[in-house]
């Protein structure tokens, strides 16, 4: 499965940012405003806000495990709510004791902290959309949440959404520049081979293709930077 999010801090590591304490979860780097969906059927056990985790949600799955989401921006659920796997629970953020936008994801098994790393693929599968504007008049769930909160908070969320969309677009441009360049190299190789076996102007087309894809990569990469 292609990884949407990079693991920026693994379970159990010791880092100065935590005052030498063991990391009791994993951190997944992601743009603020990323939609986070439950990875299992369950019940919202509690919604918190503190200086360490910021806005957080605890989801008790039907198997008894508790999935913890921290450093959230806007929370879409309340204690006691039932959620199915795939239901929106929050937007990611940078609240609490955090050095940058990311999701702190933790696991409680039988009441004890456990390594949540085996659940990363599920998080990658269910979450990842960026809260964006309506399409053909249909609003995404994250934008719907932003419009339902008080006006001053809603403006802040929408500004965050706009920033997230811009960051996502730049990431796409950078990735696209690499893909186009690699495809161009394949095309150049094919044209050189065809030129060698007699294709008229094969070498010239290969040279023009290489110049074109190199220029395209430079332009897209420059925009993304």
Please state the separation of Cα 98 from the chain's center in Å.
16
**Which residues, at least 6 apart from 45, have a Cβ–Cβ distance to it below 8 Å?**
58, 59, 60, 66, 79
DSSP 8-class letter at 135: B
Q: Is residue 102 among the annotated active site residues? A: yes
Residue with tokens 């809603």: 154
Taking CA atoms, 63 is separated from 40, 49, 139, in Å, by 9, 26, 33
Set 37, 71, 102, 104: catalytic member: 102
Taking CA atoms, 127 is separated from 18, 57, 98, 162, in Å, by 26, 15, 20, 19
- The residues assigned a catalytic role are 102
């Amino acid at each position: 499965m292609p990884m949407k999010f990079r693991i920026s801090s693994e379970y159990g590591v010791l880092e100065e940012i935590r005052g030498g304490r063991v990391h009791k979860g994993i951190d997944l780097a992601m743009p603020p405003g990323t939609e986070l969906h439950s990875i299992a059927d369950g019940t919202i056990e509690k919604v918190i806000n503190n200086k360490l985790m910021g806005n957080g949600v605890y989801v008790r799955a039907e198997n008894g495990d508790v999935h913890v989401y921290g450093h959230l921006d806007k929370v879409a659920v309340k204690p006691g709510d039932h959620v199915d796997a795939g239901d929106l629970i929050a937007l990611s953020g940078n609240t609490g004791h955090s050095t940058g936008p990311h999701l702190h994801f933790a696991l409680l098994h039988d009441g004890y902290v456990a390594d949540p790393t085996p659940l990363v693929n599920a998080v990658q599968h269910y979450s990842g959309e960026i809260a964006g504007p309506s399409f053909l008049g249909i609003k995404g769930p994250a934008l719907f949440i932003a419009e339902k909160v008080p006006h001053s908070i809603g403006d802040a969320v929408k500004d965050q959404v706009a920033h997230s969309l811009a960051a996502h677009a730049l990431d796409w441009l950078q990735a696209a520049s690499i893909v186009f360049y690699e495809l161009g190299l394949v095309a150049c190789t094919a044209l050189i081979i065809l030129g060698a076996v007699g294709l008229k102007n094969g070498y010239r087309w290969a040279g023009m293709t290489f110049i074109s894809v190199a220029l395209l990569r430079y332009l897209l990469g420059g925009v993304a930077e």
